[in-house]
Every structure is written in C-alpha cells, then in structure tokens.
Amino acid sequence: MIAMNSMSEKQCTRELGRILESSSKVAVLLRAIQLLDKTALKRGVTCRPCKATLQENRVGYYDFQYKRVVLCCENIHTRADVEETLIHELVHAFDRARKGKFSSMCHLMACGEVRASALGQCADVTPESRKKECILRDAIRSTREHCGDEAERIVRQVYNKCVKDVAPFVVGVPA
C-alpha cells in the first residue's frame, strides 16, 4: 500500500522535470558532475517505487554502480521533497566524482552526508543551532547504516571541515 499523500511515479516524474528546468542549485550540481565525470549519471535521474527493495525506507539514493539517482516516489510527498532529495543525492554524485581524501571510508561517507544534508534538506533551517542539529541528526543516521556505532564520533570529527565545503557552489554567489 502506498503511504498517505505520497506521490505516484507519474507525479514525481512531472515534478522532477519541472525542477530540472527551474532549479539553479540542481543546474550547478549537474554541470559540475558532468565536468568531473561524464559517466557519473550515465543512467540519469528517475522516480520509481522502491517498495520491496533494499532502498524501500529511503526517499532517494545515488547508485554509483548503475550511475543514477533514484527518487523513491512512495516516500516523497511534495515538490520540496523532490528538490531537496535530488540536491542531496546529486551532492553524493558530485563527491563520488571528485574523490576526496579521507582516513577511512566511514570518514568519506560521513563527510558526504554532512555536505548533502547541509546543501540539501537542512539548507534553509534557521537559526544556525537548529540547522547544525538537523545536519548532525541526518548525517549520523545515514552514516550509521554503513559504519555502525562509530558513526556519531566520525560525523562529529569531520563536521567542521565538511560543513564549510560548499563545492561546487561558490561562496557568496547564490545558486
């Protein structure tokens, strides 16, 4: 059964199309990804149901093996959800393409989650203290899936450096 008020695949795809045409943040990310690795999104961005898959509890994900972003339509409720999730997952695609250097895979993942949350779903949260809480909560939750009990410690280790990394956006220039 589809969750109450969730988008159908058709609705999600329609909103995705509108966002791809109008969002300057999405445009900046897509251009930057293309410059770094023309194949990073070879299979594009799609909306599809994720029920009965390993991703069924997610709103979206970047699949680096298949080189695509998938938005899980049954877990998306609004146009804002589509845009925030798309930005979040494109940050992951960008980070994967630029191959940062970290002491462990968990540190790399944690940094990516901090950046994706800061530039995505937590970007407009105010005041700054609530924004930090939003970023930490989301980054720790996502990192925990891959790094277990060390997630909180690792996210806190990389937070200050990674939250300041706004690439590919230029500081002081609106997207």
**Active site amino acids:** 89
Provide the sign of the torsion angle of the four alpha carbons 23, 72, 131, 116, taken in this order.
negative
**Do 119 and 98 form a contact (C-beta atoms < 8 A)?**
no
Q: Which helix (H) or strand (E) holds 48?
A: strand 45-48
Residue 40 token pair: 């990073």
Residue 40 neighbours by CB under 8 Å, 6+ apart: 33, 34, 64, 67, 93, 96, 97
Q: How far is CA 56 from CA 15, 48, 51, 71, in A?
A: 20, 11, 5, 11
Local structure of 157: helix, strand or coil: helix
